[in-house]
């Protein structure tokens, strides 16, 4: 049976809270905190070349540490803001972080399905 409007209204706060969660990931540089990407951020990153899409996505979803910090960018001599993720993470790890964030966002999730059967009176 499909979820009712009333159920959706009653779950509104729970649903919204779930969409705004942040996650801690263990990486080679230590623990980082990420937020879930917006749909538009995922689409933007998918338009980039293979080597750039993961870096772009990771740069934009990491909330701690602040990868845009000017001192950090200067210390690693970054020409472009996203260069910091390439300097900090191993190439495979960068891909793993990107995939983890995508998975946490529900992309690629297997959704249970069945044929809808109408009840006849």
* pLDDT, tens only, 35-50: 999 999 999 998 988 7
d(CA 4, CA 40): 28
C-alpha 16 chain-centroid distance? 16
- What are the structure tokens assigned to 110, written together? 């297997």
CA dihedral 94, 92, 111, 7 (to 10 degrees): -30
Q: Say whether pTM exceeds 0.85.
A: no
- Is residue 119's pLDDT more than 70? no
């Amino acid at each position: 049976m499909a979820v009712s409007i009333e159920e959706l209204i009653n779950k509104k706060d729970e649903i919204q809270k779930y969409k705004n969660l942040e996650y801690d990931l263990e990486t080679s540089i230590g623990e980082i905190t990420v937020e879930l990407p917006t749909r538009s951020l995922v689409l933007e990153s998918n338009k980039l070349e293979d080597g750039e899409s993961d870096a772009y996505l990771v740069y934009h979803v990491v909330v701690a540490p602040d990868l845009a910090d000017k001192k950090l960018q200067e210390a690693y001599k970054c020409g472009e803001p996203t260069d910091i993720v390439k300097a900090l993470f191993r190439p495979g790890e960068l891909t793993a972080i990107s995939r983890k964030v995508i998975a946490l966002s529900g992309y690629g999730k297997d959704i249970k399905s069945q044929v809808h059967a109408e009840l006849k009176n």
